Amino acid sequence: MSLSIDDATLLEFWRDRRLCSLTTLRPDGTPHVVPVGATLDPVAGLVRVITSRTSRKVSYVRATPNVAVCQFEGRQWCTVEGRATVNADPAAVAEAERRYAERYRTPRPNPRRIVLEIAVTRILGSL
């Protein structure tokens, strides 16, 4: 099922606290799947994931920017696909931290923090 970024059910599903998985591609083409906290910004058309600039997911995104973020609860699920960029701008990181705190909790301090900004190209799910 294809969903739109302004779908009320989708927005509610992305507001509630749920862990997500981020799938990036290793250099050999195999998937690298890790748990993350992610936030959806429907106005900007972005999913944001905060992480350390030294994490493997950052190097994988730099090499191959096509990613997927998935979350589920029981039979409901939603996968967002898109192109990720690495953003180290302090204002962008602060915005991502603010959104993360709204959905999850205040993130611990990390001077090496960056934000992966995923420009949404497709949303799939069953909600």
How far apart are alpha carbons 80 and 98 in whole angstroms?
21
pLDDT of residue 7: 84
120 in helix, strand or coil? strand
Q: Is the pTM of this model over 0.85?
A: yes
pLDDT tens-digit map of 42-98: 989 999 999 999 999 999 999 999 999 999 999 999 999 999 999 999 999 999 999
Whole-number average pLDDT of the chain: 94
Instruction: Spell out the residues 6+ positions from residue 111 whose beta carbon is closer than 8 angstroms to its own.
Output: none
pLDDT of residue 3: 56
Note the CATH number of domain 8-126.
2.30.110.10
pLDDT of residue 5: 66
Domain boundaries defined on the chain: 8-126
Residue 1 predicted with pLDDT over 80: no
